[in-house]
Amino acid sequence: MTPTLPPEIWCLILNDLPRSDQLRICQVSPILCTLARRTIYDKVALNSNSPNIHATLALFVRDHFVARNITRLHIRTFSEGTEERNNSSWFNPGALAGMTRLRDLRLREFTFRTKEDEEAFNNVVSKSLTSLRKFDYRDLYTRKSVPQGPSAEEYIPKLQIKGLEEIMCIEQDTFTHPSLILTTLTASCSTLIQIHLPIPTSSPSSAELLKNFLTLHFPHLSTLHLGGWAAIMPVDEVFTTFLLAHPLIEDLQLGFYDAFDDTRCRLSPKVVLGPGALPNLYHLKADAFNVAILARGGVLSLKTIEHLHTSTANGWAVGIFEEMCGALETYGGLPGLKILKLELEEDDDYPYNVRWIDQLGKLCPSVENFWGDMGVGWTARTKICLCPIITSSY
């Protein structure tokens, strides 16, 4: 008899487990029967490296009641290794067609065998998944690299997903053409409230893509995560205009520095937002350099921030940290900050930075939760420095 999952199990995760893991699935039916009794869990992990992965998916396709009640589907596969392993990772996109209530679809390290499979997947996502609100397709690519030149445009799938609220994507160097990202966003811009868009520096079209992306109109946007910002340098005015036009943004995350590329992720000092910009901002993730730029640029809403995650980078972290603290001091600190995450490199100047950590503590008098990643020897001293005002949580 075909085993089924009760409707209480509403999240299916196909996760590639290590070969040594005791949970590695060798037989589909027994493991599904076991999982069916775990009604207290909302996540089901299945091994995509199993030769039975297609049979596993088929069970859900045949059981329309179960498929109809799945609201989150997370699939993670690995394309590395032997050809045989790749064969077990390919996924039949038709298995999604019956999941009409699916709201959250995540594809990580996902592999299509052919262009036809990819087109079939796009067709299902665009036409059948009418309830989809969150789409994470980081690392989505076909087995063959997208060709360069005019022929690349014909190779790009045209996803038209209406009603999305959150999208997470990444341009995968030689695999995914940037127009894939832009096409998807253009179709969904009126309803998107969360966008996670890392852009690598290797693509020659990254700057133009970013410019086009930032000029799109997202009236309800509240979360913006951007990274790989070498391309931001020529479009700082567009970036400033974009943020000024989106006062609803509550969560802003700018990519951290790349330790091997000093210019990556730097905002220009020309970014000037003015008093009252981003009045609802409560979560800011940015390295110390960019925090300083935003503070000096007149983001008085820094006083509304409750969660700050910042970092420094190798070699010149001391000066950057000092700049950030100085800028925050000038603009009144972060009096409402509740959560502080601080990342410093091991080789930073320890005695010098301790003084600035003390200063940062004075600028954040309301912090309740402190998380520090500061290398060997840092944690104990930092905890002592901040203990009068911070209840440390490691």
Residues in the chain: 394
CA distance 263 to 289: 11
CA distance 286 to 1: 54
95 Cβ neighbours under 8 A, 6+ residues apart: 57, 58, 60, 61
Domains, in order of start, for the chain:
215-394 (3.80.10)
On the question of pLDDT at 103 being above 50, the answer is yes
**225 alpha carbon, distance to own chain's centre:** 7
Tell me, what's the pLDDT at 283? 92
Residue 183's pLDDT band, with cuts at 50, 70 and 90, is low
DSSP run (H or E) holding 339: strand 339-343
Bridge partners (DSSP) of residue 120 are none
Residue 16's pLDDT band, with cuts at 50, 70 and 90, is very low
Q: Which residue has the higher pLDDT, 373 or 264?
A: 373
CA distance 114 to 166: 27
* Greatest Cα pair distance in the chain: 70
CA distance 234 to 151: 28
Among residues 307, 306, 248, the alpha carbon closest in space to that of 280 is found at 248
On the question of pLDDT at 153 being above 60, the answer is no
Output the CA–CA distances (angstroms, integers) from residue 323 to 124, 165, 281, 326, 378, in the order listed.
Answer: 50, 36, 21, 5, 21
Tell me, what's the pLDDT at 91? 54
Q: Per-residue DSSP letters for 10-45?
A: -EEEEE---TT-TT--S-HHHHHHHHHT-TT-S-EE
On the question of pLDDT at 186 being above 80, the answer is no
On the question of pLDDT at 333 being above 50, the answer is yes
On the question of pLDDT at 221 being above 60, the answer is yes
What is the average per-residue pLDDT within 142-169? 55
On the question of pLDDT at 233 being above 50, the answer is no
- Phi, psi for 18 (deg, rounded to 5): -60, 150
CA distance 290 to 254: 8
Tell me, what's the pLDDT at 22? 30
The token duo for 192 is 């998107």
The C-alpha angle 344, 345, 349, rounded to 5 degrees, equals: 90
Write down the H helix ranges in the chain.
28-36, 53-62, 64-69, 83-89, 115-127, 151-155, 178-188, 206-215, 236-244, 288-296, 317-330, 350-363, 378-386
CB contact at 8 A, 214 and 186: no
Provide the 3-class DSSP secondary structure of residue 291: helix
The token duo for 58 is 């088929």
Residue 27's pLDDT band, with cuts at 50, 70 and 90, is very low
CA distance 220 to 191: 7
CA distance 155 to 175: 11
- Phi, psi for 282 (deg, rounded to 5): -125, -20
Output the CA–CA distances (angstroms, integers) from residue 95 to 51, 56, 73, 264, 343, in the order listed.
Answer: 17, 10, 11, 40, 43
Q: Mean pLDDT: which of 11-25, 82-96, 362-376, 379-393 is highest?
A: 362-376
CA distance 262 to 250: 28
Residue 324's pLDDT band, with cuts at 50, 70 and 90, is confident
pTM of the model: 0.65
CB contact at 8 A, 38 and 68: no
CA distance 387 to 389: 5
The token duo for 143 is 């087995």
What is the average per-residue pLDDT within 120-136? 82
Bridge partners (DSSP) of residue 167 are 135, 195
Q: 353-378: string of b/e by CB count within 10 Å (b at 16+)?
A: beebbebbbebbeebeebebebeeeb
